[in-house]
Amino acid sequence: MGRIRQLMRMAFGRSSRGRARGEKGFGGRIPFAGPEEIGPKFRGEDYYAPEAAEKNLVDPVQGQLWRVRLGEDVTMELVPVRAGKYRRGSRRWFAGEKPQHWVLITHSFWMAKYPITQRQYELMGEENPAHFRREDRPVEMVSWYDARAWCKKLTERERGEGRLPEGYVYRLPTEGEWEYAARGGNFGQGYKYSGSNNIEDVAWYGGPMGGNSAYMSSPVGLKAPNKLGLYDMSGNVWEWCRDWQGDYPRTDGLVNPTGPKEGSHRLLRGGSWGYEAGCCLVSNRDGLTPEHVYADVGFRVVLGPDPKFFKRPARPNAG
C-alpha cells in the first residue's frame, strides 16, 4: 500500500492549510452497561459511568432513521446501530489486523447512511475542496482536522436548536464503531466486504490489478448497502476515524475501545476508488497524518455519545 499511497500523494495529495483547533467537550450522561452486563468474556477497558443509567436518553430504534436538515432541500440521514459485540480483525498476513479479538460496543448510535457529500459539506459553510467535483459525490481532499471541525460545527448548530439527545454529539466514529457498523452490526453475516463477499456488489475500487472505478470517485449510494442500510463502507473513499493508529492490544474482550492515547497517524478505513480489493475488506486498516488530504479520503459521521466521557475504571473481575 505504501507505493500506491506515494503515487496518490504525488498526483492528488497536499498538506491541509487550515487546521482546526481542538474541540471543547460537551457534557451529558450516557447509557451504561456495567461489568455484570458485559459478562466474563469482557474485561472493561472503557465503559460508561453507572450514574448515567439514571437518564432516559433517546435510543436508536432499529429501522428508525435520524434525519438532519442541512439545507432547504438537503437532508442527511443516519442509520440506527444497536449495541452489540463482534470479532474484530482478521487472520490475514497483515500484521495490523492481528490478533483477532472480541469487541463489545455498549452504546447504540446512529451512523450516516453515506459518506458526507460535497453538497452536504458546503451547506455547513465550508468551501468545497474536492478534486472530483459533483455535489452527490463524497467530499474529499479533507484532513482529519477538517472533518472534525465539520462535525463540531454541526453539533453546535443542532444543540443550539435543541435538536440533539442529551449527551450525544456529531463526530467521527471510533474504529471499533466503524468496523462494527461495516460488518452489519447485530445483523452481520461475516462478509469480507461491507454487505457482500463479492466486491463488485458493494464497492468502487481500483488498484494495479484493475477495478471498476475508472480511477475517480462515484456518486454515493450506487452500490448495494450492507445489512444496516449503510452504503459505500467499502470502497469509493477512505473514511477518517477518530482514533490514533496503533497495534491492536494482545488482550481479548475489549469494551468500547478508543485506540492509543497518542500517535502520529489517524486511522482510515474502507478502501477507495484508487486501491485494490484487499484494501476494501472490512478488517483492513490504514492511516495518515491528520493534516494531509487526498482525493480518495473523505469521512462520514456518527451521532453518538462523546468518547471523551468514556470512563476508565479498574478492570472488573472476570471470575
What are the tens digits of pLDDT across the range 38-60? Answer: 333 444 333 333 333 334 456 78
**What is the C-alpha to C-alpha distance for residues 84 and 102, in angstroms, rounded to an integer?**
11
Which among 175, 199, 204 is positioned nearest to 302, based on CA atoms?
A: 175
DSSP label of 182: H
Q: Are the C-beta atoms of residues 82 and 142 closer than 8 Å to each other? A: no
> 69-76 contacts: CB < 8 A, separation 24 or more?
70/120, 70/123, 70/124, 71/119, 71/123, 74/119, 74/120, 74/123, 76/112, 76/116, 76/120, 76/301
Q: What is the pLDDT of residues 1-42, one digit of tens each?
A: 543 454 454 455 654 433 332 222 222 222 222 222 333 344
* Backbone angles phi and psi of 67, in degrees to 5: -115, 135
**What is the C-alpha to C-alpha distance for residues 69 and 50, in angstroms, rounded to an integer?**
34
Domain annotation covers residue 316: no
User: Consecutive sets of 10 residues in the chain, 319 residues long: mean pLDDT of each?
Assistant: 47 44 26 30 37 48 89 95 93 78 93 98 97 98 98 97 92 97 94 97 92 97 98 98 93 90 97 96 96 98 86 38
Domain annotation covers residue 209: yes
How long is the chain? 319
**What is the C-alpha to C-alpha distance for residues 142 and 130, in angstroms, rounded to an integer?**
8
What b-and-e string marks burial along 69-88, b requiring 16 or more CB atoms within 10 Å of the CB?
ebeeeeebebbbbbbebbeb
Domain annotation covers residue 26: yes
**What is the C-alpha to C-alpha distance for residues 239 and 319, in angstroms, rounded to an integer?**
39
Domain annotation covers residue 318: no
Tally the domains of the chain: 1
Domain annotation covers residue 50: yes
* Backbone angles phi and psi of 37, in degrees to 5: -90, -25
Q: Are the C-beta atoms of residues 237 and 140 closer than 8 Å to each other? A: yes
Domain annotation covers residue 315: no
Which among 213, 184, 185, 312 is positioned nearest to 272, based on CA atoms?
A: 213
Q: Bridge partners of 239? A: 269, 298
- Range of the structural domain that residue 217 is part of: 2-309
Domain annotation covers residue 203: yes
CATH number at residue 256: 3.90.1580.10
Domain annotation covers residue 24: yes
Q: Where are the alpha helices (DSSP H) in 102-257?
A: 118-123, 144-160, 175-182, 199-202
